[in-house]
């Protein structure tokens, strides 16, 4: 059930992004947004022992919409950040030397309700160090005149899950807590 809803969301997003790119006279670039820990500057004066060999920042645009980087193989690349919590739906489009970051403006629509025996719930404890610092697109380096961010309206369907048991991840270990009813806060976690 959830796999079907998720697939339909991505199909609708892809169609909306392609239509928007077409209206701009641009083409969607065949690359997905991904997480990336931005590396150190290539000419680091703080840690010169690191050296400029691989995985470093060469330059950043004045508006912070693009970064020239050197990848792990020493190849020049362009990193274009995505500033949206719905980054998996984002797309990058190109028209000449202009890149368009197509950002989803998401409206949510409940399509079903269901009960799960167990749900994961993280309260942000302990996982931050494993998450990338930025999400965005990494493409071959190219002459670039500008990067524009365009919002694209998108409807995201979701299932309202009810949980019988919630697995809580917290610093120093995890535990199980029982849901009395959905949407009731668990004692001690406010």
* Residue 76 predicted with pLDDT over 70: yes
Q: Quick: pLDDT tens for 48-64.
A: 555 555 678 888 899 98
Q: Angle CA(90)–CA(94)–CA(96) in degrees, nearest 5?
A: 165
Beta bridge partners of 115: 162
Residue that is written with structure tokens 């629509």 in the block: 109
Please, are residues 155 and 111 in contact by the beta-carbon 8 Å criterion?
A: no
* Residue 109 predicted with pLDDT over 80: yes
Average pLDDT over the chain, rounded to an integer: 78
Strands 146-170 and 98-122: parallel
CA–CA distance, 111 with 109 (Å, rounded to integer): 6
CA–CA distance, 187 with 190 (Å, rounded to integer): 7
* Residue 121 predicted with pLDDT over 90: no
Which pLDDT belongs to residue 118? Answer: 61
* Residue 167 predicted with pLDDT over 90: no
Q: Quick: pLDDT tens for 143-156.
A: 899 999 999 999 98
């Amino acid at each position: 059930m959830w796999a079907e809803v998720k697939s339909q969301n991505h199909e609708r997003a892809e169609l909306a992004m392609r239509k928007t790119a077409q209206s701009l006279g641009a083409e969607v670039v065949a690359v997905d947004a991904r997480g990336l820990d931005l590396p150190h500057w290539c000419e680091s004066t703080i840690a010169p022992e690191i050296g400029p060999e691989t995985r470093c920042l060469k330059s950043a645009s004045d508006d912070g919409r693009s970064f020239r980087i050197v990848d792990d193989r020493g190849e020049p690349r362009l990193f274009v950040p995505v500033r949206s919590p719905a980054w998996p739906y984002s797309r990058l489009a190109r028209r000449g030397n202009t890149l368009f970051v197509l950002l989803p403006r998401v409206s949510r629509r409940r399509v079903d309700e269901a009960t799960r025996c167990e749900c994961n719930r993280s309260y942000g404890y302990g996982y931050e160090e494993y998450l990338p610092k930025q999400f965005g697109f990494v493409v071959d380096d190219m002459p670039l005149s500008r990067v524009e961010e365009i919002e694209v309206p998108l409807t995201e369907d979701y299932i309202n899950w009810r949980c019988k048991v919630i697995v809580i991840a917290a610093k120093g270990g995890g535990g199980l807590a029982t849901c009395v009813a959905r949407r009731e806060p668990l004692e001690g976690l406010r």
